[in-house]
Amino acid sequence: MTDRTAPSRTAPGSSAPGSSAPGSSAPGSSAPSAGAPPPLLEVTGLKKYFPIRKGVFSRLAGQVHAVDGVDLTIAKGETLGLVGESGCGKSTTGKVLLKLIEPTAGTIRVNGEDITHLSKTAMRPYRRQMQIIFQDPYSSLNPRMSAGSIVGEPLTIHKIAKGREKQQRVAALFERVGLRPDQMTKYPHEFSGGQRQRIGIARALALNPSLIVGDEPVSALDVSIQAQVINLLIDLQEEFGISYLFIAHDLAVVEHISHRVAVMYLGRIVEVTGRSALFTNPWHPYTEALLSAVPIPDPSAKRGKRVILKGDVPSPINPPSGCHFHTRCLYVQEQCKVETPQLRELSPGHQVACHFPLGSGTG
């Protein structure tokens, strides 16, 4: 029905820095070649460990390896989907790369500039470019502020507009996300879940960002409302050329909205590829299991043999040795228990971190 074949969408950006392995993050090793513009966002060797303290003297009792060496790139106008089960570190990744949480190690580059160690004030101009939409439209809006002031607040903070001009810009934002400008004086509790999520989107759009991190932005919504919000996000990308990091656990939603998809398991990225390749030709056993677990809403659909994983995700406090997935993997070998597989590019734009990738002929 709607044909979307703008060149920027069909061939989004440059491919990921294929050779740089997680963990071995030599800064600059993944610098883009001269001539090609650097990707909008480039993250290398990103780690975030949360300390666990115990006792009277807050002795360090352990660390939660929430993000354990993540490499990502996002091109302008591109959507990168980040999927994984709860506790795999996908939300932490989103917050760390916005520097809402300080990373333990790794570098974050925006348009080629290293922002990893910038101070709060030096971060300001970058904050304008990078916004976030949260999962829960009930707790992410201040109940004591009117919808209009929630959306207008970023304009005030960044001293972009005030008074009548601010009101006009907020009204325009309201219209753009499908709310009526006369709803600006209402408070969050007067809106439905889907409408609240639209307020969150309008707030994120207020500063004309180039990147929006969506942390499960549609997970709390009913399906009919979810479709409205997904369509809105796609339209906004079309119109403003925004890049998204779309974090979600729902594979069908991620597949629908993303150009490329990264699959995360216990703090590491196990597979990155373009949308169609991931869903037709997964290489990592975890991706295969995830895909096969998703129920298909069609009783007549033929599916291959269903892969059902045994057990639960191990604790990120003591992640398994070698490949984190080896405790649940159906194809586990001795090598997997000792040696950590690195993310490697086996075909253009398709990376996998597995010693014995499925169906690629190299196993």
Site residues (CB under 8 A) for another protein? 1-5, 9-10, 12, 79, 85-86, 192, 194-195, 222-228, 230-231, 234, 238, 249, 251-253, 255-259, 275-276, 279-280, 289-301, 306, 308-309, 312-313
3-state secondary structure of 301: coil
Q: Which is nearer to another protein, 159 or 189 (by Cβ)?
A: 189
Q: Which is nearer to another protein, 39 or 77 (by Cβ)?
A: 77
Q: Name the minimum Å distance from CB 280 to another protein.
A: 8
Q: Name the minimum Å distance from CB 1 to another protein.
A: 6
* Angle at CA of residue 316, ends 251 and 352, nearest 5°: 50
CB 203 within 8 A of CB 150: yes
Q: Name the minimum Å distance from CB 230 to another protein.
A: 6
Closest residue by Cα to residue 135 from 226, 243, 206: 226
Q: Name the minimum Å distance from CB 317 to another protein.
A: 14
Q: Name the minimum Å distance from CB 193 to another protein.
A: 8
| Tokens 């604790």 found at | 315
Q: Name the minimum Å distance from CB 306 to another protein.
A: 7
Q: Which is nearer to another protein, 256 or 344 (by Cβ)?
A: 256
**What does the CA dihedral 231, 237, 240, 245 come to, rounded to 10 degrees?**
130
CB 241 within 8 A of CB 78: no
Q: Name the minimum Å distance from CB 314 to another protein.
A: 10
Q: How far apart are CA 353 and CA 271, in angstroms?
A: 6
- In order, the DSSP letters of 206-231 are TT--SEEEEESTTTTS-HHHHHHHHH
Q: Which is nearer to another protein, 55 or 297 (by Cβ)?
A: 297
Q: Which is nearer to another protein, 293 or 338 (by Cβ)?
A: 293
| Tokens 């990921």 found at | 16
Q: Which is nearer to another protein, 160 or 230 (by Cβ)?
A: 230
Q: Which is nearer to another protein, 21 or 290 (by Cβ)?
A: 290
Phi-psi region of 160 (alpha: psi -120 to 50; beta: other; left: phi over 0): alpha
Q: How far apart are CA 314 and CA 49, in angstroms?
A: 16
Closest residue by Cα to residue 174 from 204, 151, 197, 143: 151
Q: What values do phi and psi take at 322, rounded to 5? A: 60, -130
Q: Name the minimum Å distance from CB 164 to another protein.
A: 31
Q: Beta-strand (E) ranges in 164-267?
A: 211-215, 243-248, 260-265
Q: Which is nearer to another protein, 107 or 327 (by Cβ)?
A: 327
